[in-house]
Amino acid sequence: MESFGARLHRAMHERGPLCVGIDPHPALLAQWGLGDDVAGLDRFARTVVDALGDRVAVVKPQSAFFERFGSQGMAVLESTIRQLRNLGSLVLLDAKRGDIGSTVRAYASAYLDPSSPMYVDAVTASPFLGVGSLAPMFELAAEHGGGVFVLALTSNPEGASVQRARSADGRTVAQTVLDEISQLNAGAEPIGSIGAVIGATVGKTDCDLSAVNGPLLAPGLGAQGATAADLRVVFGPAVPAVLPAYSREVLGAGPDPAALRAAADRAVAECRAVLAMS
């Protein structure tokens, strides 16, 4: 089976370097004139899928905004994942799961096993029980051509006190995470399947990002304050591996499908210019 890294590399060149979130939080549902209920959630998700599913490289549903509606919300999420895959977008589920032993194996089975109704191309994961605790996710991803994006330097201000803390060997926690990811991606071509999440708002990182040899998901663009130009500041020589992520900046153009497509096209053009992709 083709690796996630290879599929992502191709999708970014064919469709453009862009990941669009599906984040149906209450304020955005209201902005679209939709109710804060399952019907509104379903209408929102279907509109985004129909507008962008056949043109955006990666779509990133935020699991929490579906989970809050219980089983009906999860049914909408399952349907959204299925529709996106049918339209050719890679699906990155933003779930930020992390645990140990049998529990993380269950998370892996839920998202990275093709027999699961929640099967996606990749999932976000938290490494703060130790990167090694995520081994079942990495193993199942490798077996089925999936990907895992591991939190390293997040865009929320609270994250710095943990992620930039230094261990006895002088490395920051974030650098330790990146070093372990690098080992997992060693020798992979054109790029590894284990990625890192590094916020576009974090400024200079003092981390060795080029050695990761995996995709670098960059949330925080648009409404959170970062611009495409900030990507070069944050990622430096590693910028060709960056997957820029926009949510409200694109979703705020809805509910008109044409406006959503135009917003996504603008984001792709801005990112292509910065990332020097043709």
pLDDT in tens, 3-39: 999 999 999 999 999 999 999 999 999 999 999 999 9
Residue 225 has pLDDT above 90, yes or no: no
> Can you tell me the mean pLDDT for 109-134?
97
Under the banding of pLDDT at 50, 70 and 90, the label for residue 175 is very high
pLDDT of residue 1: 83
**Minimal CA–CA distance to 270: which of 225, 223, 221, 224?**
221
pLDDT in tens, 158-173: 999 999 999 999 999 9
Is residue 200 within 8 Å of residue 230, measured between CB atoms? yes
Task: Give the global pTM.
Answer: 0.97
Pull the structure tokens for residue 128.
Answer: 């703060």
In percent, the amount of the chain with pLDDT more than 90 equals 94
Active site residue: 25, 46, 85, 96, which one?
A: 96
Across-strand partners of 21?
Answer: 60
Please give the sequence-ordered ranges of beta strands (E in DSSP) within the chain, or none if there are none: 19-22, 58-61, 90-97, 122-125, 147-153, 194-198, 216-221, 242-246
User: Which class for 257: exposed (0-12), middle (13-18), buried (19 or more C-beta within 10 A)?
Assistant: middle
pLDDT of residue 277: 54
pLDDT in tens, 184-199: 999 999 999 999 999 9
pLDDT of residue 278: 41
pLDDT of residue 222: 86
pLDDT in tens, 44-60: 999 999 999 999 999 99
Quote the CA–CA distance of 64 and 95 in Å, as a whole number.
7
> Can you tell me the mean pLDDT for 234-260?
96
Report cis status (omega within 30 of 0) of the bond before 255. Answer: yes
CATH superfamily of 4-273: Aldolase class I (3.20.20.70)
Q: Let me know if 204 is a catalytic residue.
A: no
Is residue 229 within 8 Å of residue 204, measured between CB atoms? no
Quote the CA–CA distance of 153 and 198 in Å, as a whole number.
5
pLDDT of residue 9: 97
Residue 126 has pLDDT above 50, yes or no: yes
The DSSP element (H or E) to which 70 belongs, if any, is: helix 70-87
